Structure 1
Amino acid sequence: MRGKGLRFTLAVALIAGMLAGCSQGGNKEGSSSATASDHSGKTEQVTLKVGIFDRGNAPAGYTATENYWTDYVQKNFGDPNNIKVEFVPIPRTDASDKVNVMMSSGDAPDVVFANTSPLTAYGYAKDGGLLPLDDLIEQYGPNLKKYLGPALDSGKVDGVQYSIPGRRVNTGKYENLIRQDWLDKLGLPMPKTTEEVYQTLKAFKEKDPGQTGGGVIPLGFSLTPASIEPIVWSFIEDGLTDEQRYTLSESLGYPLLLPGHKEAVRFLNKLYNEGLMSPDFSLDKDEKQVFQDVMTGKVGMYSDNLGNSFNATPGIAKVLTQNVPGAKLVPTDPYTNNAGKHLKPEYDPTGFFLMVPAASKRGVEAIKYLDWMAQPDVLNTIMNGIEGEDYTLTDGVPYRIESEETSKRMFNANDIAMITQGQDFGSDEKNWAAAAAAVPKEFRDYVVEAYKMSMTDTIRYANFTSPIEAENKYIPTLQDKYDELIVKSIMTKPGDFDKTYDDLLKDYMASGGDAIKQERTEAYAAMKK
């Protein structure tokens, strides 16, 4: 659903044929062995390659592929099974470029992941690019089956298990954040509507409560889903029919064709032309600039991926309070649509979709690895660290111990735990508390509030059970077209907005949007029969 993540997954789908070509004459399901034997009967160590995000946030002395948890995996899984586990870094930003290189060079990891809908796997599987996993899971994945249960079905294509869907415990997607100390200094209430947001941003610019010396940025904004989606979805009009949701949507994730999107962009155009948002947002495609502006005390309000700003890594809220004594960054849910609802997107209850390329000879090892991870004690250790050193247990919830060593150790634990995003403690309230327990103590109440807000008036992307071929074909191009529409429509003069927006939308539709809309309309009609 998310733009940058989607570019990665669809780019991988487009080269599934390469994988299929590489797999001709290769191993079939279950044909690989954990070790290879020489003539003396001794076993030879094999290598299992596992993809992992490189977020560029590793502390000194660590990397995404060499750290406490990669050592833990090797010692506790690799060594006992005579397997060398090699983690392959995939940059979190522009991941599609790296994956393209790996796939085309034949150096794809044995465990490939995508973080969008199960339809991504279809693009691989239809061309023979994925290893079928049914028999492997049956033989080597009892813990996986127990942990994932019926959710495994969402990884099937035409009844065949081609991917393993990780769990997503918390399905909230974004958070909006505001400088409470700025509101207090100006005597302003927390904004509760979009119009009140506008008035608040104007006051931030005119009064400069952060005393930035003219460098104030009322609304921090970047050319990323985390900035765009919370605003554009909040403008989508109430009362959408199922037909609108299915036929006017697409897997890019933005509600471009739904009623209200144009007015959302018009709102952003107004903010830009009045100097109320980041002036160079079009150059900030990885959020680094907006985060830097937040941490140096220039930004009054912005949006982020849920929980990210309060985490110890990258430490946005923490660094802000260190740089600006008295700064208070708090969650807010102010954007409203025509019915006064705080509409926002919500994730499906699945996280990564884990797949084994057909060219891989390590299907057995891949499933063994994921099954080992699905053991409750292993998963708990990876997610929380060492009891007494990294966390204490209160009412069954692990609370993070604040120390430099723990912060270093846990910086990428969630990326290691590929089969889940979050732990399920039995209720939303406990799950939110657990998510909050992993951040510095002073921010925990804010995290709980942000998670609660993220689940208010949510809407999920409308998935079909069969793929939309036009999406696989056109989405990579349309992502660039959408970015162009956003940038040019926001930056144009207000008097030119309608023509600019309409011309860019026409170009978008001619570049594949019409084809997607037509195919989704046909698929909806077939679904309703």
Structure 2
Amino acid sequence: MLINRKTMLLTVAATLSVTSLAACASPTNTSGGSAPNPAPAASAPAAPAPKPELKSLQIWQKDDYNTYPVAKYLEQATGYKVQYDMLPQDKPQDKLNILIASGEPYDAITTTGGTDFKALYADYAKKGALTDLGPLIDKFGPNIKAAIDPAALEAAKVDGKLYAIPTRTIPFAASSLYIREDWLDKVGMKAPTTLDELVAVLKAFKDKDPGGNGDKNIPLTIRGDASFIDNIVGAFGMPGFWNNVNGKLTPRAMDPAYKEYVTFMADLFKQGLLDKEFGANKDATAKEKFTSGRAGMMMLNWSDVPTIADALTKSVPTAKAAFIPTIKGKDGKIGLNATAGFDRITYIPKSSKHAEDAIKWMNAKLEKDTFKTMAIGEENKHYTFKDGAYTPILPIFTDERNQANNFLTGTDDKNYPTYWQARVRKDPRLFDAWNYMNKIQPDNTRVADPLGFAPYLPEFSKSFQQLNTLVGDYTNKLIYGAEPMTGIDNFIQKFKTSGGDASYKEVNDWYATAKK
């Protein structure tokens, strides 16, 4: 309904007149004097703007992030509700590339910190797909600055700018060969310690039928993207993607030991000692072959031991399994690849609608008490602390903090290595596996990734994923017998001209300065 303009003006004028008179009036006190003018009424503080719901993409885990207890705790502690999505377990890089290219509006993306994902991160940053976090952290991230090691933040920079918040890894050897000990007992052998002993054990697994599967026994199974088998490849002096060869960091394809390794593996395949279907195996496929009782050995991460052990004993109640010692090759070569650098990295894509709030959320997670409660829960509810050691209270720690590490977006680097003790003590089998690989086995068996804290290296980052895929595919073909061994020299030249030479020079230019 339209209001008469004259009526409106008269109403406004009258209102102003009343307001003016009220402001001029001076109330009198009991002595007849004028009372002082009262202080103006304080205006009510503006209500804080509601915090937006954030959208976060995480690495794969078996539990739904959204219903996991840590998610609820973080919502209460930070005030931010977050919708969590996951990357797939297999080929997560492919899915991530699609999401980045399509501009999916995630406010935070967390990936593992391995070399392949670091290379993707650098590539995204170079292409302008990520948000420069430096100014946001300066303004909204005091806890981030206080908690995270400055060296880690520096190593995460691309072209001098910080596009990701790094979560440092706890140094340890992660994967090795896991064997059916009851199969060893049945064939009357001990766990192998050399390459020759390994071959002998695999032959016994094939010929003596310890699994009761007849000719369907699989002596060794692996997943298809694991052509370089942890522990075995270390016996050839190549435990990591890059290894020190006569003082130079050298990629496996350019390592003189590469030919020896693929020859050894091809021979295992020819003899039927390596799963004939390994090239098609996904991670879950290889694990199922082992836990169903068909395979006698597999490559396994120690963090998977409880799950694998439970599944195995469900299928074969009398089964026993454990990691084998670190295998020695000729000239005493030995090595398990040990983590160094970043366990994971978290970045904000340019497509985010709430970059400022994403930093505020991650900063709130690094408030000291919030971080500790997120990581290991509440004292005397989730853990006990005695003599400097954190010990989990079971089963509540497993129920409510087993997957807490996947919610990390940066760590309290001074304190987390101590808090972390609770994680490996949450299951005796888990602790035994970790302890065997990282404490019982000699120190020289663990070889830290020399590029763990390398800065952004343009040539290396540009070609790493392509070269890694190139080498993995070719190595599988050599093992299958689909490519002749006589073609290795030609392949190495292709590797070099496809970016291998440029990466080698760049990496070693940096390494020469890092050693000083």
TM bucket by the smaller chain?
0.7 to 0.9
State which of 228, 244, 251 in structure 1 corresponds to 2:248. 244
1:288 maps onto 2:284 in alignment:
yes
Counterpart-to-counterpart distance in 2, 1:468 and 1:125: 12
Question: Judging changes above 3 Å, is the alpha-carbon distance between structure 1 residues 181 and 476 closer, same or farther for their aligned structure 2 residues?
Answer: same
Counterpart-to-counterpart distance in 1, 2:93 and 2:429: 37
Question: Judging changes above 3 Å, is the alpha-carbon distance between structure 1 residues 156 and 462 closer, same or farther for their aligned structure 2 residues?
Answer: closer
Instruction: State which structure, 1 or 2, has the greater radius of gyration over its C-alpha atoms.
Output: 2
Counterpart-to-counterpart distance in 2, 1:376 and 1:186: 54
Counterpart-to-counterpart distance in 1, 2:341 and 2:465: 25
Secondary structure of the 2:298 match is: strand
Secondary structure of the 1:321 match is: helix
Cα deviation for residue 371 of structure 1 reads: 2.0
Corresponding residue for residue 446 of structure 1? 433
State which of 49, 58, 81 in structure 2 corresponds to 1:43. 49
1:318 maps onto 2:305 in alignment:
no
8 Å Cα contact 2:224-2:278 kept in structure 1:
yes
8 Å Cα contact 1:88-1:109 kept in structure 2:
no
Q: Which amino acid aligns with 2:52?
A: V
Cα deviation for residue 467 of structure 1 reads: 4.3
Encode CA deviations 1:134-178: one digit per residue, 9 max, x unaligned: 343233323222321333222234443332211212332323222
Corresponding residue for residue 146 of structure 2? 146
Corresponding residue for residue 222 of structure 2? 221
Q: Which amino acid aligns with 1:76?
A: A
Cα deviation for residue 443 of structure 1 reads: 4.9
Encode CA deviations 1:116-146: one digit per residue, 9 max, x unaligned: 3566554344444433333432333232223
Cα deviation for residue 413 of structure 1 reads: 2.0
1:245-394 aligned within 5 A: 245=249, 248-249=250-251, 255-284=252-281, 286-305=282-301, 307-311=302-306, 315-387=307-379, 390-394=382-386
Question: Judging changes above 3 Å, is the alpha-carbon distance between structure 1 residues 497 and 244 closer, same or farther for their aligned structure 2 residues?
Answer: farther
Cα deviation for residue 465 of structure 1 reads: 5.3
Question: Judging changes above 3 Å, is the alpha-carbon distance between structure 1 residues 170 and 422 closer, same or farther for their aligned structure 2 residues?
Answer: farther
1:81-230 aligned within 5 A: 83-114=80-111, 115-116=113-114, 121-150=121-150, 151-225=152-226, 228-230=229-231
Cα deviation for residue 504 of structure 1 reads: 4.2
Cα deviation for residue 415 of structure 1 reads: 0.9
Q: TM-score, normalised by structure 1?
A: 0.76
Secondary structure of the 1:178 match is: strand
Corresponding residue for residue 233 of structure 1? 234
Cα deviation for residue 420 of structure 1 reads: 4.3
More deviation, 517-526/114-123: 517-526
1:437 maps onto 2:432 in alignment:
no
State which of 417, 429, 432 in structure 1 corresponds to 2:408. 417
Q: Where do 5+ consecutive residues of structure 2 fail to align?
A: 1-45
Question: Judging changes above 3 Å, is the alpha-carbon distance between structure 1 residues 438 and 354 closer, same or farther for their aligned structure 2 residues?
Answer: same
Cα deviation for residue 275 of structure 1 reads: 0.8
Q: Which amino acid aligns with 1:292?
A: E
Counterpart-to-counterpart distance in 1, 2:305 and 2:229: 20
Q: TM-score, normalised by structure 2?
A: 0.78
Encode CA deviations 1:375-403: one digit per residue, 9 max, x unaligned: 33333333334555544445443434444
Secondary structure of the 2:87 match is: strand
Encode CA deviations 1:498-521: one digit per residue, 9 max, x unaligned: 225445444444544345445556
Q: Where do 5+ consecutive residues of structure 1 fail to align?
A: 1-39, 250-254
8 Å Cα contact 2:223-2:283 kept in structure 1:
yes
Counterpart-to-counterpart distance in 1, 2:295 and 2:393: 30
Question: Judging changes above 3 Å, is the alpha-carbon distance between structure 1 residues 341 and 76 closer, same or farther for their aligned structure 2 residues?
Answer: same
Cα deviation for residue 235 of structure 1 reads: 0.6
Counterpart-to-counterpart distance in 1, 2:468 and 2:238: 23
Counterpart-to-counterpart distance in 2, 1:48 and 1:451: 38
8 Å Cα contact 1:282-1:487 kept in structure 2:
yes
8 Å Cα contact 2:130-2:163 kept in structure 1:
yes
Corresponding residue for residue 71 of structure 1? 72
Cα deviation for residue 316 of structure 1 reads: 0.6
Corresponding residue for residue 8 of structure 2? none
Identity over aligned pairs, percent: 27
Question: Judging changes above 3 Å, is the alpha-carbon distance between structure 1 residues 342 and 525 closer, same or farther for their aligned structure 2 residues?
Answer: closer
Corresponding residue for residue 488 of structure 1? 477
More deviation, 413-422/369-378: 413-422
Counterpart-to-counterpart distance in 2, 1:499 and 1:120: 33
Question: Judging changes above 3 Å, is the alpha-carbon distance between structure 1 residues 373 and 459 closer, same or farther for their aligned structure 2 residues?
Answer: same
Deviation beyond 6 Å, 4+ runs, structure 1: 521-529
8 Å Cα contact 2:148-2:412 kept in structure 1:
no
Question: Judging changes above 3 Å, is the alpha-carbon distance between structure 1 residues 372 and 527 closer, same or farther for their aligned structure 2 residues?
Answer: closer
Question: Judging changes above 3 Å, is the alpha-carbon distance between structure 1 residues 389 and 296 closer, same or farther for their aligned structure 2 residues?
Answer: farther
State which of 52, 61, 65 in structure 1 corresponds to 2:58. 52
8 Å Cα contact 1:343-1:459 kept in structure 2:
no
Cα deviation for residue 295 of structure 1 reads: 0.8
Encode CA deviations 1:198-227: one digit per residue, 9 max, x unaligned: 111111111122223332211122223496
8 Å Cα contact 1:176-1:331 kept in structure 2:
yes
Corresponding residue for residue 498 of structure 1? 485
Q: Which amino acid aligns with 1:172?
A: A
Question: Judging changes above 3 Å, is the alpha-carbon distance between structure 1 residues 190 and 423 closer, same or farther for their aligned structure 2 residues?
Answer: farther
Corresponding residue for residue 9 of structure 1? none
8 Å Cα contact 2:220-2:273 kept in structure 1:
yes
CA RMSD of aligned residues (A): 3.4
Question: Judging changes above 3 Å, is the alpha-carbon distance between structure 1 residues 199 and 492 closer, same or farther for their aligned structure 2 residues?
Answer: same
Cα deviation for residue 324 of structure 1 reads: 1.4
Question: Judging changes above 3 Å, is the alpha-carbon distance between structure 1 residues 450 and 229 closer, same or farther for their aligned structure 2 residues?
Answer: closer
Cα deviation for residue 492 of structure 1 reads: 1.0
Question: Judging changes above 3 Å, is the alpha-carbon distance between structure 1 residues 92 and 303 closer, same or farther for their aligned structure 2 residues?
Answer: same
8 Å Cα contact 2:339-2:449 kept in structure 1:
yes
Question: Judging changes above 3 Å, is the alpha-carbon distance between structure 1 residues 320 and 244 closer, same or farther for their aligned structure 2 residues?
Answer: same
Secondary structure of the 1:399 match is: strand
